[in-house]
Amino acid sequence: MSVRVSRETLFAEVWAEPMTTVALRHGVSSTFLARVCRELNVPRPPRGYWAKLAVGKRVVRPTLPSVRPGDALEWARGQAPRREPRALPVPPERPSRRSPRARVGRDGPHPLVEGAREHFIGARTADSGHARPMKRRLLDLYVAEGLIDRALAFASLLYWELDTRGYQVTLASLDQGLSRPALDERRERPKQRDRYEERYRTWSPDRPTVVHVGTVAIALSIFEPSERVEVRYVDGKFIPVAILPTVKRRGYPQAAVWTTHQDMASGRLCLRASSPYALATWEQYWEEASARTIESMIPSIVKGLEEAAIIIAALFNEGAARAEAEHVAWERQRAEHQRQEVERLRERRRQESCAQLVEIIVAWSSAKAREDFFDDLERRSTTLDANDQLLIRKRIQQARAILGGTDILNRFASWTAPDE
């Protein structure tokens, strides 16, 4: 049986020895242990930490972040982590200022961004040009390959800024009950996207990327909007006509080509913040324009998320109250249905009991008539001579044997009353 390791123990281990040594002791790889640290919100030494420590350089060691509702508390190999009970969504009392927390490892990519590039580069592509990696436990990113590096850099900047302000950015765990609202990256949405296209021609992570502002979770989706443009199908791909080279041949007319219109990646970045709660529907977009990049919008994005936490918490409370009222109404309806079902069952039993009793009465009447008939025959046979009288009585016995017994008391004892 695997031994459970607490956050405090793991934090002490990874800052006392290299990750490879700690991972070997727990029987996992260093990459897997890094994911465990992210799951438990345990800071890890940055790259070059042990080399600096070996030459006597002073390196700042952070403190272990406090446990937030829903965070994993313990880890054991092959077992689900034990988590802190998640509180209801409550926004912070006041907007956070930049905290003086140590910026260990924040010159590099954010832990959610680290290692993600290899899954997006060279991945399958949608008809619009967006990358569709095979792995789905990644940050919520849906852009074309040419914009991946910039999108990852923006994600890292935004996540670090939120983390600096005390707002943790992580992949939602499966037991949190959070979901990613469907994303339609099309700038023009003339009709609802069909299920086949949404499932097989687009990409979405298997769990949302969320930032916790207070105890309010807000889903973050970074994507590249698509625009309706004229395209030509070339070598199995849709290519915008505007970027295709013009082919001219002297002395020959231009050959007719087949084109159509398709939603294609626009080359700009957009951030969608949305509510991952089923009881609260909310979303907001920040899209860059030619005069302003999305990186310059990070301060306004953070402010918008802080304001959104208040809105989402209010929507969640309204949804919870509405759901509770619907649940109470459903319980009343269920109780009324059960009462009616009991009444129907009672009435059915009463009818079945009456029918059974009528059958017994009919059987009793028939049996009494038979007995009266046979008794009358025996009385009449007394007027006959001895031989004829013996013959009649013998035939009466045969008739009674053919008709069977006439014990009405046993049949009445087997009658089922309505309350039985």
Cα–Cα distance between 393 and 389 in angstroms, integer? 6
- Summarize the confidence of residues 384-410 as an average pLDDT: 80
Q: For residue 370, give its domain range.
A: 346-413
Residue 355 inside a domain? The answer is: yes
Among 282, 149, 269, CA closest to 213: 282
C-beta atoms surrounding 94 within 10 Å:
7
Domain count, the chain: 2
Confidence band (pLDDT; 50, 70, 90) for 376? confident
Residue 353 inside a domain? The answer is: yes
Q: 209-262 pLDDT, tens per residue?
A: 999 998 899 999 999 998 887 777 777 777 777 777 765 555 545 445 677 777
Which residues on neighbouring strands pair with residue 169, listed in sequence order?
Answer: 211
Residue 167 inside a domain? The answer is: no
Q: What is the pLDDT of residue 275?
A: 94
Q: Output the CA–CA distances (angstroms, integers) from residue 76 to 6, 18, 80, 312, in the order listed.
A: 9, 20, 7, 34
- Summarize the confidence of residues 272-281 as an average pLDDT: 93
Among 313, 302, 325, CA closest to 277: 313
Residue 406 inside a domain? The answer is: yes
Which of 28, 55, 85 is where one domain is finished?
Answer: 85
Residue 248 inside a domain? The answer is: no
Q: 334-371 pLDDT, tens per residue?
A: 999 999 999 999 999 899 889 888 888 888 888 888 88
Report the percent of the chain where pLDDT is more than 90: 29
Q: Could you tell me the pTM of the whole model? A: 0.64
Residue 212 inside a domain? The answer is: no
E strands of 70-193, at which residues?
72-75, 82-83, 124-125, 131-132, 141-142, 168-171
Q: What is the pLDDT of residue 369?
A: 85
Cβ density class 145-174: b for 16+ within 10 Å, e for less: eebbeebbebbbbbbbbbbbbbbbbbbbbe
Q: 104-121 pLDDT, tens per residue?
A: 446 678 989 988 999 999
Indicate whether 99 pLDDT > 60: no
Which of 23, 52, 85 is where one domain is finished?
Answer: 85
Indicate whether 98 pLDDT > 70: no
Among 102, 60, 67, 109, CA closest to 87: 67
Q: 60-93 pLDDT, tens per residue?
A: 888 888 776 567 788 887 776 676 555 567 777 6
Q: Output the CA–CA distances (angstroms, integers) from residue 145 to 149, 183, 205, 335, in the order listed.
A: 8, 18, 17, 57
Cα–Cα distance between 379 and 371 in angstroms, integer? 12
Residue 105 inside a domain? The answer is: no
Confidence band (pLDDT; 50, 70, 90) for 103? very low
Cα–Cα distance between 413 and 174 in angstroms, integer? 61
Residue 397 inside a domain? The answer is: yes
SS3 at position 420: coil
Q: What is the pLDDT of residue 2?
A: 65
Which of 38, 69, 85 is where one domain is finished?
Answer: 85
